[in-house]
Structure 1
Amino acid sequence: ARRARESEALAAERGLDVANLEALNAHIVQRLDTGVIALDRDGRIRLANRLAAGIIGSLDGETPTLAERAPALQRAFEAGGNTERTPITVSGIDYLPRFVPVGDSQRGGTLLFLEDLTAVRAQIQQAKLASMGRLTASIAHEIRNPLSAIMQATQLLGEADYLQDGDRRLVGIITKQSRRLNETVENVLQLSRRSPAQRETVDLAEWVPQVVSEWRAAFSGGEVEVQATAIAALFDRSHMRQVLENLLRNAMDHAGEHPAVTVVTGRDERGAPYLEVRDNGPGIDAEIRDHLFEPFATSRRGGTGLGLYLSRELCEANSARIELRPEETGTCFRVTFAAPDGAQQGGQA
């Protein structure tokens, strides 16, 4: 009887330890920066932490299959568990899935880990920008010094009274090309001057009309309509201003003779805040569409091709993304921000 009582007391103590350990593990899993999904041997979702629920949707007591909530992940699982570690797009975001068997592969389930590549790419981008900034700064300064001398000498030469019409035309060409080169140098120097992102909560309904109004005052011609709703986004204000001004400038340059640009804010299907800049132009040629965000890629004559590249770098540094949206007419660029509270509604894959 004494042994039975001791065994019962030990079992109760061990049960309490197991319950506490289970609660601790559940708390850790929910707080992970990686999405975690537990699958049984039939492919049904038994557990999804907070981040995973934002990807596949809340379970609400149900046990749906992975194929129902995320067909792309199910295909990767059936193809061998993504052993080649290929990113998979779910709800418009790239994830790196990793499948880990639990227990006996014949009877046990599978743990699925989803790593959001946005934060990883942002860290890589910061390191790349730091090294590239030091290189570009030294090169740009070496170019800028003789370029300033050329522009000053050309200006003095253009003021001479003895120049013929042909000579003045040549001086004009030198001045124009020198300014173009100086614009390129200034854009490159922005990469080295940029400070780390200081993200803060920005009310798009208040901030977007203010920036557009200031930009419109400095830009003559064209119409800019703002359709901003009360949505908060997480971004560095100075970085966001550069991105929006680059998109507005691009829209005006490519919209044609009578440019009409619309700036819209809203939430996507996952609840993430976004900002769109749309124009009424002819759209972007197919041959440059795949290289749109690469440096020095441009379809505008006289353009530097650095505006969209810098915009993408700034977005990735703020855990945001910029993309070209498919439109029947005109061009539409969307910037999707991180929500201030990190909470996003779940959506179907």
Structure 2
Amino acid sequence: MQTHTHKVRRDLLLLWAVIAAVSALLVWLLIELSRQGAASQIAEARLHAAASCQAMQHGVHLARLESASAQAGWQAVIDLALREEPGSEGGFWRPGQGVFAYAFPTYDGTGVKRDPPVAELEKITATAELASRSHQLILEVRPGLREAIVFAACPLTQAPGTSVAWVMKRVLLIQAEVLNHLSLALALLIGLVVMSGAWLAWMLLRWQRQMAALMQQLAQSERMATLGRVSAGLAHEIRNPLATMRMKVENAMAAAPERYQQRSQSAFEAVLAQTSRLESLISSLLALTHPLQIHKQSVDLRAWLTSLTSLHQEAMTTQQACWKLSLSDSVVTRAQAQAVLDPDKMAQVMDNLILNALAHIPVGGEIELGLDSVTSGHLRLWVADNGSGVPAHLRPQVFEPFSTARSGGTGLGLALAREIVQAHGGELRLADTAAGARFEIELPWHTS
């Protein structure tokens, strides 16, 4: 449940990140479109017109053109100043003479355009006269329905009645109007996306609070359910020894005088055996409830596994069973198979798995102890047997307390083994096998 919750939260956060990225992209597009709007285009046209006019003014000074200079010289200055300015046309104006030089270097029509625009000639003259009188750059904008026209005029000298350089640049307002509408649509879209992101963020926060409350309730329910199962199992495990002791004692008390001594002796032995079983049960329960103290150290895994086999060799001989030790080459060559773990606690885990295997293998069976390197950072231990295996109905709760199919078992060994493995940062699982049972332990090589 918790893993599923993390996945849902991760997916929602990823969705929110995508919305944020889309919003950022739309904002960037809106900024770029705003730069193409009518006001921005007119402002940019004013800058280009002023720069072109001043370039023409500077070109005249460099070429040392005078009033009597050839027409070609004046037009050459215009061509040089405006050839990199699409849609810009310009010329020179002189008081009493009007426009005496004109050029449109980027004209789209056929041929070379040398005649000044008649429709705008009055505005060109007015702007040039103002620049000639004021001795400074003059910028004028004439708005229109389809286009706006920017006029720039700058005097060539500071002397009265000086000639003037002028530039005219057209700005298409139809395209700019479309861009304005598109910018508005994008702004609305950005607003919707931002609102969606904000709503999603609010939903994430609300779901997180609700999920935390649900997880708390679920944990409480799981604790109560676990407590119920443990209580039921504990009552069952305690009731059986008590019933056995009571039956033995009652039989001894009801025996005839000549058989009283024999039955009393049998009752005492049964009481001791069942008391030992209860003590084992209590010790396992205490081990589950008390915090585990893990004392890690570097362990030679091959020697450690060999010592485990020697401890159970007598039981294996009685069962006429044999060992199978499987060590992969990757483990043998890895720093002499050294790992960092608590050898005593992990030996307790392996002992429990080996005892389970001994209880289920047939006479002459086989138990396999294996060691392999899963990844560069994890190792895998396993205990496998060729016995009857774990019943299908017990597999889902095989690690739960009091879940056992072994005669005389408490069902606490595997639960405690799992706690020890988890304390090492590992995982204990029951693997799927065609026959028998195989318990696998996956641990980090260094669990510190």
Q: Which of 275, 287, 300 pairs up with 2:406?
A: 300
> How far apart, CA to CA, are the structure 1 residues paired with 2:3 and 2:359?
45
Match of 1:202 in 2: 299
Match of 1:245 in 2: 351
Structure 1 position 216, deviation (Å):
2.3
1:227-246, aligned counterparts within 5 Å?
Answer: 227-228=326-327, 229-230=331-332, 231-246=337-352
> How far apart, CA to CA, are the structure 2 residues paired with 1:211 and 1:186?
22
Match of 1:325 in 2: 431
Question: Which letter maps to 1:202?
Answer: V
> How far apart, CA to CA, are the structure 1 residues paired with 2:282 and 2:447?
38
| Matched residue SS, 1:286 | coil
5+ residue gaps, structure 1, are: 1-81, 89-94, 110-123, 133-138, 343-349
User: How many residues were matched structurally?
Assistant: 218
Report the RMSD for the aligned CA atoms in angstroms: 4.2
Match of 1:85 in 2: 5
> How far apart, CA to CA, are the structure 1 residues paired with 2:357 and 2:391?
14
Structure (1 or 2) with the larger CA radius of gyration: 2
Structure 1 position 233, deviation (Å):
2.9
- Residues 161-206 of structure 1 show CA distances to partners (whole Å, capped at 9, x for unaligned) of 8626555555554343333222212222334666521223323122
| Matched residue SS, 1:182 | helix
- 1:223 maps to 2:319: no
Structure 1 position 108, deviation (Å):
7.1
5+ residue gaps, structure 2, are: 26-218, 228-233
> How far apart, CA to CA, are the structure 2 residues paired with 1:200 and 1:96?
37
Q: Which of 1, 9, 22 pairs up with 1:106?
A: 22
Structure 1 position 284, deviation (Å):
0.7
- Residues 132-182 of structure 1 show CA distances to partners (whole Å, capped at 9, x for unaligned) of 9xxxxxx9xxx9xxx9xx99xx8xx99x98626555555554343333222
Shift in CA distance, 107/281, structure 1 to aligned 2, threshold 3 Å: farther
**Contact 1:264–1:275 under 8 Å retained in 2:** yes
- Residues 268-304 of structure 1 show CA distances to partners (whole Å, capped at 9, x for unaligned) of 2676211010001111111110110011110112111
Q: TM-score, length-normalised on structure 2? A: 0.41
Match of 1:185 in 2: 282
> How far apart, CA to CA, are the structure 1 residues paired with 2:412 and 2:258?
39
> How far apart, CA to CA, are the structure 2 residues paired with 1:83 and 1:236?
29
Structure 1 position 319, deviation (Å):
0.3
**Contact 2:377–2:444 under 8 Å retained in 1:** no
Structure 1 position 335, deviation (Å):
0.5
Match of 2:441 in 1: 335
> How far apart, CA to CA, are the structure 2 residues paired with 1:232 and 1:189?
31
1:21-60, aligned counterparts within 5 Å?
Answer: none
Structure 1 position 266, deviation (Å):
0.3
Q: TM-score, length-normalised on structure 1? A: 0.52
Q: Which of 271, 283, 286 pairs up with 1:174?
A: 271
**Contact 2:426–2:442 under 8 Å retained in 1:** yes
**Contact 2:297–2:342 under 8 Å retained in 1:** yes
Shift in CA distance, 182/327, structure 1 to aligned 2, threshold 3 Å: same
Structure 1 position 212, deviation (Å):
2.0
Match of 1:75 in 2: none
> How far apart, CA to CA, are the structure 2 residues paired with 1:298 and 1:173?
23
| Matched residue SS, 1:233 | strand
Shift in CA distance, 84/307, structure 1 to aligned 2, threshold 3 Å: closer
Match of 2:367 in 1: 261
Shift in CA distance, 211/168, structure 1 to aligned 2, threshold 3 Å: same
Match of 1:74 in 2: none
| Matched residue SS, 1:187 | helix
> How far apart, CA to CA, are the structure 2 residues paired with 1:86 and 1:319?
20
| Matched residue SS, 1:309 | helix
Structure 1 position 237, deviation (Å):
1.4
**Contact 2:424–2:447 under 8 Å retained in 1:** no
